Structure 1
Amino acid sequence: MHVPATLVRGGTSKCWLFPQVHMPTDRDRIERILVDAYGGADPVQLDGIGGATPTTSKAAVVGASACEGVDIDYLFAQVGIGTGTVEWGSNCGNCATAIALYAVAEGLVPLKKDRTSVVMRNINTGAVLEAEVDTPGGRVQEFGDRTVPGTLAGGVPVGLTFRHPAGAATGLLLPTGLPVQELTVGEQLLHVSMVDAGAPVVLVDALGADRTGAETLEQMRAEVPWLRAGRHAAAIRMGLVQPGAEPGDAVPKAGLVGPPVAYTTTLGESVAAHEYDVSVRMLSMHSPHPAIGLTSAVAVAAANLIDATVVARASTAPGSHVLRIGTPAGVLAVESSGATAAGPERVTVARAARILCQARILVRDLALPAAA
């Protein structure tokens, strides 16, 4: 049997979006369908629609929201690669960008002249996001020319705002109450900031760990094992998992933070140190992120507003409401507003999206709703 789905590029990720009306409501059944459709038990996902990388093995179940003031509810899924499982504990800003364009194209929100607003709720975390999709003259665009760091391809402009992003997972911007603390990983003593904004993250002081924070993707591959160990240790400190529980790789996000230095992007572009404020290299699940996840960028921007965090210490613009983050793919600007002790009220990033195809995904008979 089959289930309809739409493939959309949002920022630097690709997400298959599944209409809620054609999917079961039980999360276990959804997981079985996604693992089957993606070939999720296969490390190369050859017999499925997955791309065998963390940024191309994503999905969301999307539907109209019954919540007042919210247009769209979505359940985000990070489909495992070779694991036969799905991580449900996080959000994805790039997929939210894709969902915003999808909602406009599918008529799930009324079109407005020039720009159409889409308010979305991430079911996984309860986070509420607002997107402004370019709809010139009240028309849906199939193509656009806005680019983002990490790809030369243009897309439809989408402004994505995270509303009150702090504490969605743990209840606090600083889950441990400290802006910086020591974390022992193996024989290493790390100085880290644990922040919950957009997503829970553990950010490591790169210089203190004898790194730069501006490593190439190839160099970052060698850092994956100890950064994953740091993630697992931080998850316990942040209250995300109980001691002795099986750790996951979705949260907290983990990465290195350092001062700006000159470097060359993955697309071969030269970036001078004065062109950005702080270097960041993140993991995506068990691999180096080719750019930076938007939820991680939100957390970095929030940390930059807090005295003494590893971000504020490394940044050339600590406390600034506009932070330019140097990533492997280039420089990403993040704007915060309405800063309070509990965290910023809004964090906004300029993105782009494009609908790539509509398909009927063949899956095994897993008791889909009759509408499928």
Structure 2
Amino acid sequence: MRTRENRTISVPATLVRGGTSKCWLFDVADIHGRGASLEDVLVTAFGSRDRSQIDGVGGATSTTSKAAIVAHSYEPGVDIDYTFGQVGVGVERVEWGSNCGNCATAVGLYAIHSGLVRPRGDHTRVRMRNTNSGSRIDAVVATPGSEFVPTGDAVVPGVALPGVAVGLEFIDPVGAGALLPTGRAVDPLGPEDTPATLVDAGAPAALLDAPSVGLTGSESVAEFAQRLPGLLPLRREAAIRMGLSTPEQPVDHAVPKLGVIGPPRDYTTTAGQRVTAAEFDVSVRMVSMHAPHPVIGLTSMVAVAAAATAPGSTVHRYTAAGRRIRIGTAAGVVSAVLDLDTSGRLTGVTLNRSARVIARADIFVPAARSEPAIAR
């Protein structure tokens, strides 16, 4: 067997579960200046050349193929800057066009674990800026006795074991832009004029009315997957209407987010637990990188919560936003707390999450691609 020798670089990294995602976190000083582009390093480290990611550290799903580059921030009032990358699965590409709330949860815990932020009291506030979107997020991390703790007792739907409690606060999630980019609470999409709310808060999202596409919003992941191919063309149309793409361009896989919204109804979670309609306010099934999300992404949660404040939206028709909205997902019920000013404008969204540091490692990354081995 003949092979070609290649130089290998070693990149320090930390694997952290944040919410319902796993994220490899890199200190900016450890990953830049490696003789290759950042994107090349990540797709090679994750093994993105095949869908199994068998030759890398990726987990072969959208929720386990994520990275963030973390740095001390020099912005006044900000502790940490982080850049999120959605690393391709079977595609040699990293998408930089969106934020990830679950990875933000991981970054908050990592900042204390790595010493970038010193713990202060029983709860330490880590002030973060996402460089992809410019958005501000604070992570309030449990640090009992002013110490980092490796685990805790906070649980979230979709994760079997508890972790460290992290409160994630999205500050002014709408920002200087418009909550409804088209200026309408509902836009008709596709040949059937499917009602959809196109919202930009947390992340751009297209929220379809579930009954209008023959769904309830309480489908199992497998049931939702069967219907997904018919919904993706509506996502493309939404991207064009929101100014995220043009008819001639391919649409980014990460944004806009796509989801279906329905009224509360009894259903069974992925883990087999029965949930009654009285336990939540609205049914939601979301898409992540062209596949059903097993729970819901945090930026999607912010988008749903924000849409609930818009009269006539696909969310508002089922639940008018108060100070809290309870969302029924395939894995269970998750809640968002809304901060509203006196005019009813959304000024913040808080989500209760958990995180856990899983590993610290040196990832060995081939510095140049090798030719396939030739059997003799």
| TM-score by shorter chain over 0.5 | yes
Work out which of the residue numbers 345, 348, 362 in structure 1 matches 2:347. Answer: 345
For the Cα contact (< 8 Å) 2:125–2:140, is it kept in 1? yes
For the Cα contact (< 8 Å) 1:173–1:343, is it kept in 2? no
Residue 14 of structure 1 pairs with residue 16 of structure 2: no
For the Cα contact (< 8 Å) 2:208–2:260, is it kept in 1? yes
CA distance in 1, matches of 2:363, 2:334: 34
User: Which AA in structure 2 matches 1:70?
Assistant: V
For the Cα contact (< 8 Å) 2:27–2:69, is it kept in 1? yes
CA distance in 2, matches of 1:176, 1:38: 37
Residue aligning to 1:233: 237
Please list, as runs of the form range in 1=range in 2, the aligned pairs for 1:253-268 lying within 5 A after superposition: 253-268=257-272
User: Which AA in structure 2 matches 1:238?
Assistant: M
Residue aligning to 2:67: 59
CA distance in 2, matches of 1:103, 1:124: 18
For the Cα contact (< 8 Å) 2:305–2:321, is it kept in 1? no
Residue aligning to 2:188: 182
Residue 150 of structure 1 pairs with residue 154 of structure 2: no
1:181: how far off?
Answer: 1.5
Change (3 A) 1:260 1:144: same
Residue aligning to 2:125: 117
Residue 288 of structure 1 pairs with residue 292 of structure 2: yes
For the Cα contact (< 8 Å) 1:283–1:289, is it kept in 2? yes
Work out which of the residue numbers 101, 104, 119 in structure 1 matches 2:109. Answer: 101
For the Cα contact (< 8 Å) 1:166–1:342, is it kept in 2? no
SS at match of 1:234: helix
1:257: how far off?
Answer: 0.2
| Aligned Cα root-mean-square deviation (Å) | 1.5
For the Cα contact (< 8 Å) 1:232–1:248, is it kept in 2? no
For the Cα contact (< 8 Å) 2:185–2:311, is it kept in 1? yes
Residue aligning to 1:87: 95
Q: Deviations over 1:41-83 (max 9, x none)?
A: 2111011000000000000001101111111001100011101
CA distance in 2, matches of 1:342, 1:243: 36
CA distance in 2, matches of 1:321, 1:111: 30
User: Which AA in structure 1 matches 2:121?
Assistant: K
Residue 321 of structure 1 pairs with residue 323 of structure 2: yes
Gaps of 5+ in 1: 367-372
1:188: how far off?
Answer: 3.5
User: Which AA in structure 1 matches 2:103?
Assistant: C
Q: Identity over the aligned pairs, expressed in percent?
A: 51
1:243: how far off?
Answer: 2.5
CA distance in 1, matches of 2:232, 2:75: 36
CA distance in 1, matches of 2:227, 2:33: 39
Change (3 A) 1:124 1:152: same
CA distance in 2, matches of 1:25, 1:257: 45
For the Cα contact (< 8 Å) 2:99–2:133, is it kept in 1? yes
Work out which of the residue numbers 168, 179, 187 in structure 2 matches 1:173. Answer: 179
Change (3 A) 1:16 1:211: same
User: Which AA in structure 2 matches 1:292?
Assistant: I
CA distance in 2, matches of 1:64, 1:150: 31
1:303: how far off?
Answer: 0.7
Residue aligning to 2:367: 365
SS at match of 1:141: coil
Change (3 A) 1:342 1:208: same
CA distance in 1, matches of 2:342, 2:196: 22
Q: Deviations over 1:216-274 (max 9, x none)?
A: 10011112212222111111100111221111210000010000000011111110000
Work out which of the residue numbers 309, 315, 318 in structure 2 matches 1:311. Answer: 315
Residue aligning to 1:200: 204
SS at match of 1:67: coil
1:319: how far off?
Answer: 2.6
TM-score after normalising by structure 2: 0.93
SS at match of 2:366: coil
TM-score after normalising by structure 1: 0.94
SS at match of 2:246: coil
1:349: how far off?
Answer: 0.3
